[in-house]
A and B are shown apart, each in its own frame.
Chain A
């Protein structure tokens, strides 16, 4: 078994909590996830970049810990759970700031993805390399991303109250 993938061994080998999101099942898998990861980095407001970088560092192990019960004896590879987290984080921050409809569009896109996976059963379909999508990764990732955006928003409101 690959030493970088996320497995139950991550409790003894903690680097797996991060590296599981870096390794993939093939270049197509990696490329698609890389594009998904790049979009929030491009769209994020300049003052949120530091927050996004912190989220990129902190959210992977949290997501990994949440995914461990779903894995059983299996393994997990892929960055799309993290991508969902970053989409939720950036989308919510843009939406609350109400600068444009972009944030709402990002959140809507994310919602469509999660709904489609729930309806179609993305976890049931076996991919070419003999692996299947883990919809829980996207669901937990989105939840973590939203949670990471909310306190930031509350702080902004606390320190910069809107003028009436």
Chain B
């Protein structure tokens, strides 16, 4: 009895299994690894706490992942980093408590650079607080039942036998530069699903990676806004003993209890009043 059919069947089975093994790609940058590298003792924040004077100058940067910066790891296309940070910048540029938002290239942040590196970059850009963005992206590829058609070569180019899903979690932690006090954090997440042929799997994964990051950044911007509101309320209630916020008039949010009230007339009301005045003066002339 010839062994050839068995060998051919075994090779085909191996090829089949090789084509259809689920794959996972992980891209990760860790805030903890950047700010608190294991070989160094974690510096203590200033016991006096943070005193934030409004309006703030905010710096936003991706923390480096692993041994190189996030961008250098080829995890983002050139120019995409700025595009992503712009999402956060656009969301906050009209906020009265922020005077300026600086986008800091991740190339300026050293892997494991710690607070020393953060201080250097903050001095360079002249920012009061830093939002450090870390990313955790997992991409899974699962074969569908008909992915065995890849063996026909034509199927690898025609039939979408790969189910790809990309889960992205972005976390922004905001620190006061002067006191190294942790102020607040906000998450952003996204999930992108799709199918691809074997031949276009990598292309789709790259596209989904970029899209996942963009969606997660948009989610982050929304959550960050809500977290800032909650943070201000906490400071006003005196629940954050380590932080005080001083407004443009020099009034401490903690001392005023966050309850600065004003009797105000909106501009719509002013226009209405002026219209009424114009009507009245016309009436008198008549």
* Interfacial residues, chain A to chain B (CB-CB below 8 A): 1-2, 21, 24-25, 29, 32-33, 35-36, 39, 42-43, 70-83, 100, 102, 105-106, 109, 113, 122-123, 127-134, 137-138, 141
Asked if B11 is at the interface (CB within 8 A of a chain A CB), the reply is: no
Instruction: Please give the distance in Å from A100's CB to the nearest CB on chain B.
Output: 6
> Known: A1-B251, A32-B270, A109-B276. Contact between A77 and B262, CB under 8 A?
yes
**Contact residues in B for A25 (Cβ distance below 8 Å):** 249, 260, 262
CB–CB B263/A80 < 8 A? yes
- Residue pairs across A and B with CB atoms within 8 Å: the count is 129
Interface of chain B residues 258 through 279 with chain A (CB within 8 A)? 258-267, 269-270, 272-274, 276-277, 279
CB–CB B261/A100 < 8 A? no
Looking across the interface, which residue of chain B has its beta carbon closest to that of A37?
B265
CB–CB B262/A24 < 8 A? yes
**Contact residues in A for B273 (Cβ distance below 8 Å):** 35-36, 39, 109
**Contact residues in A for B54 (Cβ distance below 8 Å):** 130
**Contact residues in B for A73 (Cβ distance below 8 Å):** 255-257, 259
CB–CB B257/A74 < 8 A? yes
Asked if B247 is at the interface (CB within 8 A of a chain A CB), the reply is: yes
**Contact residues in A for B280 (Cβ distance below 8 Å):** 42-43, 100, 102
Report the 10 A-B pairs with minimum CB-CB distance, sorted nearest first. A74-B259, A78-B263, A80-B263, A131-B260, A73-B257, A128-B96, A134-B261, A81-B263, A78-B262, A137-B263
Looking across the interface, which residue of chain A has its beta carbon closest to that of B259?
A74
Task: Give me 7 A-to-B residue pairs in the complex whose CB atoms sit less than 8 angstroms apart, sorted by A's number.
Answer: A36-B265, A39-B273, A72-B257, A100-B283, A128-B96, A130-B54, A130-B253
**Contact residues in A for B266 (Cβ distance below 8 Å):** 32
A70–B263 alpha-carbon span in the complex (Å): 13
A77–B276 alpha-carbon span in the complex (Å): 26
CB–CB B276/A105 < 8 A? yes
CB–CB B283/A133 < 8 A? no
CB–CB B262/A83 < 8 A? no
Asked if B97 is at the interface (CB within 8 A of a chain A CB), the reply is: yes
Looking across the interface, which residue of chain B has its beta carbon closest to that of A102?
B280
CB–CB A127/B263 < 8 A? no
> Known: A1-B251, A39-B277, A43-B280. Contact between A80 and B264, CB under 8 A?
yes
- From A2, A72, A134, contact of B262 by CB (8 A): A134
> Known: A39-B276, A39-B277, A43-B280. Contact between A127 and B264, CB under 8 A?
yes
Asked if B248 is at the interface (CB within 8 A of a chain A CB), the reply is: yes
**Contact residues in B for A82 (Cβ distance below 8 Å):** 263
A29–B249 alpha-carbon span in the complex (Å): 14
Instruction: Please give the distance in Å from A105's CB to the nearest CB on chain B.
Output: 6
- From A21, A29, A74, A137, contact of B256 by CB (8 A): A74
CB–CB A129/B263 < 8 A? no
